[in-house]
């Protein structure tokens, strides 16, 4: 099928197309994986399908507890309809357990529980490799207002509390994750809503019993078994039936 939709933006793992109505976009999940600012790249069959489903599930649950999000509905295996927003140029990282760049920067062993949840901000810039910034930088350079930072932090804490419990219930520790927010205009009002995706690409998810990595670290660290791990997350969340096949390599048996 020829894709006639206008492409608005192409990122590392997703493409955004013009939506069917004004103010909407189509978010398409690719199978591409990148890490270390694109220095490591690969295609992993079935990753996009899984992230589309997992992100749909999480955004829907968050919507149900009153967290405003850009998600409208899933359209097909790889695409969801979303509200168009002006993205705040920040990656907001929430951490519960030391891992990744925090462990490296501060010399804290991976897996050490943090005394409390920590929120960090990174300025979104591929050229600069997403440098960490403080609220001072954010307000001085006008990336977000003090009120918007307050809203972003309050939403991030709610999301962390809710998702920590959600994953805990299925035997998974939510170690850390990355959020992006956008501005939505409604008449003369502008408000901050959750955008982008929440998936094993943007979270660290460890099995509570075994500490098995069920996230993109399997790719970053050449551990293999990424699709199987993402499938495990989806299955535990009740999104996939036991025999669902999402690799696109054959028919999916639909159970009633
Ligand atoms: N993260 C992300 N996109 C990025 C950077 C980080 O989704 O561009 C997520 C990452 O998957 C992890 C959390 O944010 O769950 C914290 O990442 P960290 O700062 O430890 O960086 P990393 O070790 O991934 O370089």
Residue 193 CA to residue 208 CA, distance in Å, equals 31
CA 161 to ligand 1 center in whole angstroms: 19
Please, what is the Cα angle at 179 between 170 and 144, to 5 degrees? Answer: 155
Closest by CA to 109, choosing from 117, 96, 118, 99, is 99
> Ligand 1, atom 19: nearest CA belongs to which residue?
101
Q: Give the model's confidence band at 240: pLDDT under 50 very low, under 70 low, under 90 confident, else very high.
A: confident
Q: Give the model's confidence band at 241: pLDDT under 50 very low, under 70 low, under 90 confident, else very high.
A: confident
Q: Give the model's confidence band at 254: pLDDT under 50 very low, under 70 low, under 90 confident, else very high.
A: very low
Instruction: Return mean pLDDT, the chain.
Output: 94
CA 126 to ligand 1 center in whole angstroms: 14
Report the nearest atom of ligand 1 relative to the CA of 178: 14
For domain 86-207, which CATH number applies: 3.30.470.20, 2.130.10.10, 3.40.50.620, 3.40.50.10860?
3.30.470.20
Note the pLDDT tens digit of each residue in 169-220.
999 999 999 999 999 999 999 999 999 999 999 999 999 999 999 999 999 9
- CA torsion, points 164, 213, 132, 15, in degrees to nearest 10? -90
Residue 15 CA to residue 146 CA, distance in Å, equals 31
Closest by CA to 164, choosing from 116, 121, 125, is 116
Residue 72 CA to residue 82 CA, distance in Å, equals 5
More confident of the two residues 246 and 203:
203
Both tokens assigned to 43: 């295609």
Asked whether the whole model's pTM tops 0.85, one would answer: yes
Both tokens assigned to 30: 């690719």
Report the nearest atom of ligand 1 relative to the CA of 202: 7
Q: Give the model's confidence band at 243: pLDDT under 50 very low, under 70 low, under 90 confident, else very high.
A: low
**pLDDT value at position 244?**
57
Residue 3 has pLDDT above 90, yes or no: no
Give the start-to-end residue ranges of the domains of the chain: 7-85+225-236, 86-207
Q: Give the model's confidence band at 15: pLDDT under 50 very low, under 70 low, under 90 confident, else very high.
A: very high
Residue 138 CA to residue 34 CA, distance in Å, equals 27
CA 75 to ligand 1 center in whole angstroms: 28
Instruction: Please write down the HEC assignment for all residues of the chain.
Output: CCCCCCEEEECCCEEEEECCCCCEEEEEECCEEEECCCCEEEECCCHHHHHHHHHHHHHHHHHHCCCCECEEEECCCCEEEEECCEECCEEEEEEEECCHHHHHHHCCCCCCEEEEEEEEEEECCCCCCCCEECHHHHHHCCCCCHHHHHHHHHHHHHHHHHHHHHHHCCCEEEEEEEEEEEEEEECCEEEEEEECCCCCCCEEEEECCCCCECCCHHHHCCCCCHHHHHHHHHHHCCCCCCCCCCCCCCCCCCCC
Q: What is the CATH number of domain 7-85+225-236?
A: 3.30.200.20
More confident of the two residues 24 and 37:
24
pLDDT, average across residues 69-87: 98
Report the nearest atom of ligand 1 relative to the CA of 102: 20
């Amino acid at each position: 099928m020829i894709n006639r939709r206008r492409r608005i933006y192409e990122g590392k793992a997703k493409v955004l197309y013009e939506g069917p109505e004004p103010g909407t976009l189509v978010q398409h999940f690719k199978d591409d994986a990148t890490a270390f600012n694109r220095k490591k790249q690969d295609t992993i069959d079935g990753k996009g399908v899984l992230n589309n489903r997992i992100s749909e599930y999480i955004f829907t649950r968050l919507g149900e507890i009153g967290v405003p999000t850009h998600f409208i509905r899933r359209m097909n295996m790889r695409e969801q309809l979303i509200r168009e927003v002006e993205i705040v140029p920040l990656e907001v990282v929430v951490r519960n357990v030391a891992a990744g760049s925090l462990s490296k920067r501060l010399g804290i062993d991976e897996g050490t529980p943090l005394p409390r949840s920590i929120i960090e901000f990174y300025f979104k810039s591929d050229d600069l490799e997403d440098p960490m910034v403080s609220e001072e930088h954010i307000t001085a350079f006008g990336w977000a207002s003090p009120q918007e930072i307050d809203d972003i932090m309050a939403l991030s804490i709610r999301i962390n509390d809710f998702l920590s419990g959600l994953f805990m219930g299925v035997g998974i520790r939510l170690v850390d994750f990355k959020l992006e927010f956008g501005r939505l205009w409604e008449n003369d009002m502008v408000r901050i809503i959750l955008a982008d995706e929440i998936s094993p690409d943007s979270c660290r998810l460890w099995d509570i019993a075994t500490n098995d990595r069920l996230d993109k670290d399997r790719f970053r660290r050449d551990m293999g078994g990424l699709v199987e791990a993402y499938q495990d997350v989806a299955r535990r969340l009740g999104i996939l039936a036991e025999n669902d096949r999402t690799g696109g390599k054959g028919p999916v048996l639909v159970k009633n």
